[in-house]
Amino acid sequence: MYDFAYHRAKSAADATALLKGKSEGRAMAGGMTLIPTLKQRLARPSDVVDLAGAKDLAGIKAEGGGLTIGAMTRHGAVATSTEVKSTIPALASLAGHIGDPQVRNRGTIGGSVANNDPAADYPAAVLALGATINTTTRKIAADQFFKGLFETALGEGELITSISFPKPEKAAYVKFPNPASRYAMVGVFVAKTAGGVRVAVTGAGPGVFRVKAMEDALAKNFSSAAIKDIKVPTDGLNSDIHGSAEYRAHLVGVMARRAVDAASK
Ligand SMILES: Cc1cc2nc3c(=O)[nH]c(=O)nc-3n(C[C@H](O)[C@H](O)[C@H](O)COP(=O)(O)OP(=O)(O)OC[C@H]3O[C@@H](n4cnc5c(N)ncnc54)[C@H](O)[C@@H]3O)c2cc1C
């Protein structure tokens, strides 16, 4: 680890002020990704601003028929929240299958979404549910937020404050987890809303993406049979020690059909 200045923020505004003018400054949520990155000397921030004391960044609120979840809300809190379980049960279930209990007790929704790991679970929910990412300066629609491998629309010093999820009519998330980390080899979140159907895939490519062919077929007929013949192209899909692009493309179809079946129950 390289030396850096450590700061404790008391609020989102305090964190923004602490990061101001520090182009090499980094926010820290639960440190689940940031700390290993620092330990491996893959990052050299001048300043680390700890958000753990920023109480205005945590918590779950029912709002506009949906939910607004504070950036510092831990995965474990989302998984066990009665509000989330009753409004968007698929989101509670997703959170309950992230990593292990240690990760769920430290990792946060804001850290996960800001980090945009290509195998992370939350980005699939955010994209499929058409969520809005609320930041210290603006609101960003999910379709405009994820920019590719570990890249997002967030600007320098801009922090996620919360994420607003509309309540879907039906939704489910099914993943094929890597047996060691529980990260998604492939995860598919399917959501049916008044506006249509959205299918978002994580783990398969360099970033979360939607499958339009499945969305169109499911909008006409929300059943797993409707997408059984849809093949996902292998172009651009991940091929690594965990699985080939062909294997991942196959898994997308299987996970999507299981998600539709689960959402239909
Ligand atoms: C062993 C292990 C297993 C895991 N398994 C899974 C899994 O199965 N599925 C899954 O989805 N994830 C998994 N994760 C990731 C984990 O769930 C965390 O969400 C992720 O590591 C981010 O951690 P964090 O919230 O502590 O953020 P940090 O590590 O503190 O921060 C991550 C990045 O986000 C930035 N950041 C943090 N908060 C904000 C904010 N509010 N606004 C803007 N930027 C911010 C930081 O500057 C940093 O760049 C796993 C992690 C580990 C270590």
pLDDT tens by residue, 195-250: 899 999 999 999 999 999 999 999 999 999 999 999 999 999 999 999 999 999 99
**Ligand 1 pocket check for 49: Cβ under 6 Å:** no
Rounded distance from Cα 226 to ligand 1 centre (Å): 35
Q: Are residues 40 and 89 in the same domain?
A: no
Residue linked to tokens 């850096």: 4
Q: Are residues 161 and 212 in the same domain?
A: yes
**Ligand 1 pocket check for 183: Cβ under 6 Å:** yes
CATH classification of the domain holding 154 = 3.30.465.10
CATH classification of the domain holding 29 = 3.30.43.10
pLDDT for 189 equals 98
Q: Are residues 38 and 68 in the same domain?
A: no
Q: Are residues 105 and 215 in the same domain?
A: yes
- In angstroms, the CA 22 to CA 118 distance is 27
**pTM for the complete prediction?**
0.97
Q: Are residues 123 and 206 in the same domain?
A: yes
pLDDT tens by residue, 244-261: 999 999 999 999 999 999
pLDDT for 23 equals 87
How many domains is the chain partitioned into structurally? Answer: 2
Which tokens sit at 20?
A: 């101001």
Range of the domain at 37: 5-49
Q: Are residues 99 and 148 in the same domain?
A: yes
> Contact at 8 Å (CB) between 181 and 147?
no
Q: Are residues 43 and 80 in the same domain?
A: no
- Helices (H) and strands (E) in the chain — how many of each? 11, 14
Sign of CA dihedral 160, 158, 104, 130: positive
Q: Are residues 159 and 230 in the same domain?
A: yes
Q: Could you count the other beta carbons within 10 Å of the beta carbon of residue 55?
A: 12
Q: Are residues 36 and 77 in the same domain?
A: no
Arithmetic mean of pLDDT over the chain: 96
Which tokens sit at 243?
A: 């699985």
Which tokens sit at 105?
A: 């007790």
**Ligand 1 pocket check for 116: Cβ under 6 Å:** no
At 87, the pLDDT band (50, 70, 90 cuts) reads very high
Q: Are residues 61 and 45 in the same domain?
A: no
Write the DSSP assignment of 125-159 as a string of letters.
HHHHTT-EEEESS-EEEHHHHEEETTEES--TT--
Q: Are residues 19 and 61 in the same domain?
A: no
Q: Is the pLDDT of residue 96 over 90?
A: yes
